[in-house]
Structure 1
Amino acid sequence: MPQHQADTVFPIFVAVWVVLGLGSSAFFFLNKDAALKRRVWPGFTVVTGVVFLFFVWLMGAGAEVLLVGVPAVVLITALNLRAVRFCDSCGKTLMNQNPFSPPRFCSKCGAELKR
C-alpha cells in the first residue's frame, strides 16, 4: 500500500478509536446494569480487536506484522475478557491490573463478583 494511503487511513483510525473509547467508557462506567454490560462486553472486546487489525491491514501492514499482530490482539482480547468484571450490587465496572488474577470482590461495595 502506498504511504499516502496509510496517511489517509490513520486519521480515520484515530477518529474511530476516540469514538470507541469515549462511547465505551460512557457505557461501561456510567451504566449500572451489570447484566447488560456482561452481555455486551465479550462482543465489544472481540469487535474492537477485529477493528484494530482491520485498520492495521488498511494501513499496509505486511504479513510479518500480521503474524505478530493477530496473536497479540487475540492474547490482549483474552486477557481483557478475563480481567474485567461487573458488580451486580452496585453496577461498577472493575478492571483488575493483574489480568491473570481477576477481581473477586467489588472495590466499591465489597460484594462478591460473578464470573
Structure 2
Amino acid sequence: MGKFEFIQLYLKEKGVSAQLTKPYLFSISKLTKKNLKPQVFESPLKLFFLQTVFGSITWGSLMFLLIWQFNNVTIYNLYGALFFGVATGFILALNVATTQKRLDLNNWDQWLEENHFN
C-alpha cells in the first residue's frame, strides 16, 4: 500500500467521504503519476469553478451526442448545461467547505506534518 492509499484510508476513518479523498481529476492524476492533494484540502471556490467548467462541458457534450444532434440546439439547452455545471459545482464546494469546517482541515502541508506523513 502506497502513501497516497494510506492517506485516503486515514481520511475515510476520520469521516471524510470517499469522493473527497481523491484528487479532483483523479483519472488525469493517475495518468500523469502525480500525487495531487485530496479534494478536501482544495479551496472550495477553486473546486466550484473547476466543476462549473467541466460539468457544463461534460453535460453539454453528452446531451449533444444523445439528443441535441437530432434537434436544433437552442440557447435554453446551453443554459441548461451551464445550470448543471453551476449546481454541481455549488454542491461540491458546499460539501468540501462543511467537511473542512467539521474536521478543521485547512493546509495540506501542515496536515501532512502534523500527522507524520512527510
TM range (shorter): 0.3 to 0.5
Bigger strand fraction: 1
User: TM-score under structure 2 normalisation?
Assistant: 0.38
Bigger helix fraction: 2
User: TM-score under structure 1 normalisation?
Assistant: 0.39
Higher relative contact order (CA 8 A, sep 6+): 2
